[in-house]
Each structure stands twice: as structure tokens, then as C-alpha cells.
Structure 1
Amino acid sequence: MPHHRLTGLALLGLLLTGCAGEPLRRIDVLTQTPAPLQTSQQDGQRALAAAKPCCSSLQQLPYVPIPANFSGDVVIDPSAPAFEFQSGKSFLRAFALPSNSRSFEIRLYSQAGKTVLAPSAMLLDSQFRLTRLLGSEDFVYEPAAGLKGDSLDARLRIDRLYHDNPGNEQYLILFTSERQLAGQTVLQHPAKAHAKAHGNEPPNIPDPVARHAPVGVLKMVLIEDGSASQQANSYVPPRSIGMEMGNRLPTTPVPAVLPETQAYYRQGIDAALAGQDLERALRLADEAARVGDDSAKAYLLERIQIK
């Protein structure tokens, strides 16, 4: 899929209009609270049931390119594309990650009110093969604080040691699943939050409940290395084929790593060891394991023993 360079103004226009007229609102949550979607949970369910899948494969999804240091709101509503995932049909937004950035962090905040979209996040490599899947265990409820409202939050890192490695994670898909739609999230009552903030005993009152909906607004922030927190690694499970959420690629198991991808990591490990940079060699072996090259660590150990 060819990628085109976009100016900041042109990209903003694309994000505001989306693909084929699909709106994406861009709001600075540090200065104001995004207006809630004008779609109820029941209306969203009906719209999803009636929606026709936009595409027959992940490769055909309408991927919107986003730049490094992007910060904006992603609106998933009935105008968004729908796709029949193995875990069920869902509205979605799909993005092409900045290709010229080596390592960066992605922060996701699904905003909660009377309803909330309980997200899944799927990462694909340059060949549109599944590399990682984040689901309900990775999006953690965080109560409102300051100007930030209640939300389901996740953080993940994209690590790339070589720009032209076909195993690099290049695409991000945000969606939900039938299992997540059946759930709900208990929010912290504002009165309890206020009491805790002032060191008082929280009142004995019920907490509000946000029903999970097929529509919602997610704040997405990209932070390039240098300011990204290494703690983001703790939010990312090892390479996943989606056992929990059932989001395997249709009808076939996850394919084996490409020979050229394996060769990239072997060459990189050899070069790092030749330069006596063991830390880099270990990072390469870890990154290789995340994209499916499970023998990279054994290769590294073998090379160390040979030397």
C-alpha cells in the first residue's frame, strides 16, 4: 500500500473528514471536554447490526496515515467502517503508523460516561499480519482526575531498529468485540473521588455504571522516544494471537515469520555482537520474538557461546 506525505493542514483535513466522509473530531482534552456522541447504546447496537462490512480482509481496510506526535480524538460511530472480525462485527478506525519514526509510545483513552466503548487494539506488520492484540485486560479503568474524565486506558510501545524491516509494526486498528459489548464498567462516583482527594471517608453511595457500546470516542496520543516512558512496556503482553478475545485471522493460524524478516534479525544480532553491543543484541532478540521469530533468542545464545 503506497503511503503519501501529507502536510499538517492536509492531514488534519483528512482526519476531520475521514474516509468517504466519515467524521473524526479533533478536540484538545486539556482545554475542553469532547461533546458526547449523539448515539445511544441501543441505537449504536441497531446501527451495527444493520451495517454491511466494508471489506473482506484486513488489507482492504481504509487506513488513515497519522504523523509522529499526533494528538487527537478518534470517533467510532455508525459512520465508521464496519468489519466482521472473528470476535464479531464491529465499527472500527484503522491507521497507518508513522513509517519514519523508530520508536514511539501510543496512549489510548476511551472516554466513559453513560456508555463507553471497550476497545481492542490490533497491530499489524507491513504484510498485514497480526503481531499483537490488546483487549479487555490491557485497557484499564482510570477514574476522572483534573480535566481528564473517566476512561479505559492503554499504553503500548512501537520499537523499530531498522526502518525497512518488513516485520515492523505499521498498522493499528481500533475496534471492539461481541464479548466486550456484553459487559459494563463501574465508574467511581464523583463524590467519592472528591472525598478521597480531601482525605475524607468516601460516602456510601452506589457508583455509576457505563454500559459498553459499539460507539465511542478515544483520545490517541503518539509520543516519540526521548519523552516516552519506558513503563509503557508493562502494558504490552508478549506476542499475542488473540486467544482471549478470539481475534485470530480468519480460518488460518498466524503465519510463520517471513525468511527475510528472520534474516534481518540474524544480521542485526551478528552486527551488534561484532560491535560488542550486547544490549542491542538482546533488544533485537526481544523485538524478533514479538513479531514471531521465536528462535531469535536461541540464536543469540548460540552466537554468544561460539564467541
Structure 2
Amino acid sequence: MNKNILALVLGLSVVGCASNSGVESTIPASQMDKESVCCVSKKDFAWVALDKTEDIGFSIDDTSPVWDFQSGKSFFNAFEFSPRSGKVKVTLSSKMLKKQVFAPTVQLLDKNYQVSRTIDLDAFNVRYSDMFDANRYVHEFEVDAQELPYMVVYTDPSLIGETITVPHPARVRAEESGEPRPIVTDPKFTYSYTGELHLEVQTLSLGARQVAEPASVQATAATVATGAVAAEAATVEKKAAPAEIQPETKQFYHTAIEKAVADGNIPKALSLLDEAKALNVEGAQEVFVKAINAK
């Protein structure tokens, strides 16, 4: 009898940690429609470089970049697999917290940033809460990181506002043990534009994805006898030269930073400023300071 009471108490404590008592309102579609996309093209995404082995948690929230996917606008995170990885095993999970959950969709892109494979919510399974983690969506898959080096995680806007109901932990435990089902309320979670996710990457085989390295090596070898020093200096200068920024990209970041500051969304403005600096967009810092002073 004492064991049954203890199991019920533990079950109640787990669901308390998983869903919390407060309910945070979902960002409305009308607000998302007003969000500016982050970039001119997917090539300009702020790609997060992954190691051969990763075990990281991350959030997708209203400070994350926005892109207009085929299904509509969504906040997202973009990842690049290690160039040393060949076949990798990826495990992506999305936690059900504060009565909400981010319903993930995954795009895998080739070297030219073209979508080659899409994994939608139907491929994810629900894993119930335990003593170590909350209720969550989980999907495990393998990918050739040499052929598909880029991964984007976002949500399908058509799901926003819908709900999923999961069994109460005490009910699951009772069904597994064959005991009488307790009188408890199964928690519901609403699909949201934001959420907390977890990513695991395990390299199963090695690869050697390199860009322009072989050509550089061959050019150096071919000129060793007649100008090795000059060739090395030219290679260093070429590597140090920043990528050419298109006028449209520069104008996009300047305008987006000014708008974010004008709207009072300083975290988003700072995020845009960081992206602009990473892309060597000229004048972004000055635009930000001027906008702050005007504000």
C-alpha cells in the first residue's frame, strides 16, 4: 500500500515538473506574419557548426531568426554537420513544458543549400515523462553528412494552436503494473512557435568534406620551384579577404535592425547585429547605435 502511495506521489511530482502550473500564451499568427525574415537566402543563415559528437539543448524563441518556409513563417535554428563526419545518427527531441510544445519539422540540405529531405511531425514519437525528463517528441534518424551537410529545425505554422494530450505519469505506471487506473487529469499541450529542444549527434563513420583545399594544395605544389613564397602570400591574402556582401543583404540588415529597435525589441536587434557582424556587413554597428539614440 505504501509503495502505491509513493508511486502516485512520484507521478504527480513528475508531471508537475513537466508541465508547470503557469500557461504562457502562444505567439499569434498575426504577430508572426509581421516578423521580418532573417536573410536573403538560406546560404546566409547563421549556421551553427556541430562537432562529430554533440549533446546540446537549445531554445527556439522570439529572438530566433525567422524564415518564410513553404508552409509559412517560423522561427528556426540552422546547423552544419562537422566536415569530418560521414554517416551520422541524429536524435532530436522537443520538450512539452508550460502547457506548450514546439512541433518540429526538419529539413536536410545539400551542399548547394537545396532541400533534399524533409522530416515532419508524423515521424516523431511521444516519449512519456520520467524521473529525468519531461514528456517530449523524439525522432532518431541517420544522414550522410557529406551529401547533406546542413540541417534546419522549424515548425509548421498550420499546427499552431492545436493540442496534444498525453497520459498522466500515474496512469502510465498503473497500466504498466496492472494496477487500478488512478483518477487523474491527462495533461494537454498546445503547439507553439517556441519551445525547448535537445539535439544529439553521433558520428558513425568519418568523412572528409573540404572546400577548395585540394585546388589550393595543388597550386602551391605546382609553383614550389618558381615562386613558393609568393604563392603562399597569395593564398593567405585570398583566405583573409572577406566575402563580398551584396547591397541587398546590407540593406536588409540595416532596415531590420532599425525596425527591431523602433519596435522596442532590443534582443532581436542585437541578434541581427551579431549576424551582420559575422557576415561582415558594413555599417551595422553604426545603424544600431543611431537607432538606439533616436529611440
Contact kept in structure 2, 1:110 and 1:219, CA below 8 Å: yes
Contact kept in structure 1, 2:27 and 2:192, CA below 8 Å: no
Residue 191 (structure 2) aligns with = 212
| TM-score where L is the length of structure 2 | 0.58
- For the residue of structure 2 that corresponds to 1:83, the secondary structure is strand
C-alpha distance in structure 2 between counterparts of 1:41 and 1:103, whole Å: 40
C-alpha distance in structure 2 between counterparts of 1:123 and 1:197, whole Å: 37
Contact kept in structure 2, 1:47 and 1:78, CA below 8 Å: no
Residue-by-residue CA offset, 1:89-141 (whole Å, 9 max, x unaligned): 00000011111111110001100020000010000011111111011211221
Of residues 65, 68, 73 in structure 2, which corresponds to 1:81? 65
| TM-score where L is the length of structure 1 | 0.56
- Asked if residue 130 in structure 1 is aligned to residue 115 in structure 2, the reply is yes
Query: How high is the sequence identity, in percent, across the aligned residues?
Result: 22
**Which blocks of at least 5 consecutive residues in structure 2 are unaligned?**
1-16, 206-295
User: 1:67: Cα distance to partner?
Assistant: 0.7
**Which blocks of at least 5 consecutive residues in structure 1 are unaligned?**
1-32, 227-307
Residue 53 (structure 1) aligns with = 37
Amino acid across the alignment from 1:116: V
Amino acid across the alignment from 2:173: H
Residue 201 (structure 2) aligns with = 222
Residue 111 (structure 1) aligns with = 95
1:1-307 equivalent positions in 2, closer than 5 A = 40-43=24-27, 48-113=32-97, 114-159=99-144, 163=146, 168-225=147-204
C-alpha distance in structure 2 between counterparts of 1:191 and 1:181, whole Å: 28
Amino acid across the alignment from 1:211: T
Structure with bigger helix share is 2
Whichever of the two has the greater Rg, that structure is 2
C-alpha distance in structure 2 between counterparts of 1:86 and 1:131, whole Å: 14
Amino acid across the alignment from 1:70: E
Contact kept in structure 2, 1:96 and 1:171, CA below 8 Å: yes
User: 1:72: Cα distance to partner?
Assistant: 0.8
1:159/1:188 Cα in 2 relative to 1: closer, same or farther (>3 Å)?
same
1:61/1:39 Cα in 2 relative to 1: closer, same or farther (>3 Å)?
farther
C-alpha distance in structure 2 between counterparts of 1:35 and 1:158, whole Å: 32
1:188/1:194 Cα in 2 relative to 1: closer, same or farther (>3 Å)?
same
- For the residue of structure 2 that corresponds to 1:109, the secondary structure is strand
